[in-house]
Amino acid sequence: MQYDNNKISVRQLLIIVVVATFAPLIQVVPRLMGGAAGAAGWVSILLSFGFYAIFILMLARMFRKTQAVDLYDLFTKTVGKFLAKIITVIYGVWTFVLIAFYLRSFAERFMASILPNTPLFFFLAILLAICALFAYGKFESFARFAELSLYLFALIFVFLFAVSAPTIEVTNLLPVTTLDAVPILRGSLIIMGIFSYLTFGLFLGGGVSAMDGMKKHGIKSGICLTIAALITFAITIGILGVNWASSSNLPFFTAVRTIRLLNVVERLEAIFLTFWVLADLVIVSLFIYVFINILKKLFPLTNPKKLTAPTILGAYLLSVSITSNFFELNQFSAEVQIPVNIILGIAVPALVFVIGIVRRKFF
């Protein structure tokens, strides 16, 4: 792997985002998509890829025309330094909330699945300790870890789909009619609320050797996420059905528990849960990196890594108070997290693009 002055490539940055996105995809796709689009949710996933491709083309054009090194630089060159700082502060606040949210989600998942009597502090402390190792280490080492995790996730997704295929009820995924048009559109917005994490990752552009290749690797990342979402939806809805999946706290985990390999090997959820932990580790670490980089943009910091410990401590305190149980955490995801993700991850960059077009920045 080639590096430029200890920086990673845009391909590696997008790999980090893809692996980080696996964690919310696994949780959100079967539960919220089942409720929003029903059996037609797989069409929503395909439609969301079309929206994502357009979004990638828009981002690639903005970075190419402005020669910006990261999202903050792009905002500054398009709307001015003052507005760019205000917008970035909002991104910083929400990124900090996301750190706490995914910390709590990680802990609640284990408490709801295999270790119900273990204290919440135990899970939070373990994940934060490992994330701290990444945050204090080299960014390119974190990129290598994410790249390895991507290959492992690809293997586990293909494996789970292969062994679950005989038990998938195709009738649970059909029929799709014209009456599903509005639910399909609503479902695609939910997926875009997860795919939008790419926008947050672009605040790490200063650690990337160049933003060239955004279009090429961005489309590839979209294909990867779309396939993962389709497999997740097909396994969960195909095995459990829409009603069960949309009302369960851990629908994909429940579906995996029903899978048996050759009627001999079962309990495959232990393998899957191990890889889900990797995705949680990457997404929390990613947002810690993003949050510290945002602070570095906003304030004249000589050693941003000194903010790692306060960030981790603050995230821990917020994670224990953000909700009181798994049910409220899922409600927060559906009613707050996804809408805010869409606004900051999709709508704000689109608005900046329109402003740039009016000001003739992207011609």
Spell out the domains of the chain, with CATH numbers in brackets: 10-358 (1.20.1740)
- Residue 207 phi, psi dihedral angles, 5° rounding: -95, 10
* Sign of the four-CA dihedral 286, 291, 295, 298: positive
Query: What per-residue confidence (pLDDT) applies to 9?
Result: 86
208 and 61 Cβ atoms separated by less than 8 Å: no
pLDDT above 70: residue 268: no
What is the CA 174 to chain-centroid distance, rounded? 28
147 or 361, which is more confident? 147
Quote the tokens at residue 239: 């095995």
pLDDT at 294 over 90: yes
Local confidence band at 51 (pLDDT 50, 70, 90 cut-offs): very high
Rounded to the nearest 5 degrees, what angle is found at the Cα of 284, between the Cα atoms of 281 and 290? 135
What pLDDT is attached to residue 349?
A: 96
Residue 267 token pair: 């309990």
Q: How confident is the model at residue 120 (pLDDT cuts 50, 70, 90)?
A: confident
pLDDT, tens digit (0-9, with 9 covering 90-100), for 303-322:
888 899 999 999 999 999 98
Q: Give mean pLDDT, residues 178-185.
A: 88
Is residue 1 predicted with pLDDT exceeding 60? no
- Reported confidence tier of residue 111, pLDDT bands at 50, 70, 90: confident
pLDDT of residue 265: 46
Q: Name residue 352's amino acid.
A: V
Burial class (CB in 10 A: 0-12, 13-18, 19+), 279: buried
Q: Tell me what the mean pLDDT of segment 285-291 comes to.
A: 95
Residue 165, C-beta contacts closer than 8 angstroms, at least 6 positions apart: none
The pLDDT of 94-110, averaged and rounded, is 93
The H or E element that residue 161 is part of is helix 139-164
**Rounded to whole angstroms, what are the CA distances from 194 to 134, 226, 268, 363?**
23, 11, 26, 30
Rounded average pLDDT over 64-75: 91
Return the minimum-mean-pLDDT range out of 38-47, 106-115, 185-194: 106-115
pLDDT at residue 263 above 70? no
Of 42-51, 284-293, 295-304, minimum mean pLDDT range: 295-304
Q: Average pLDDT of the chain? A: 87
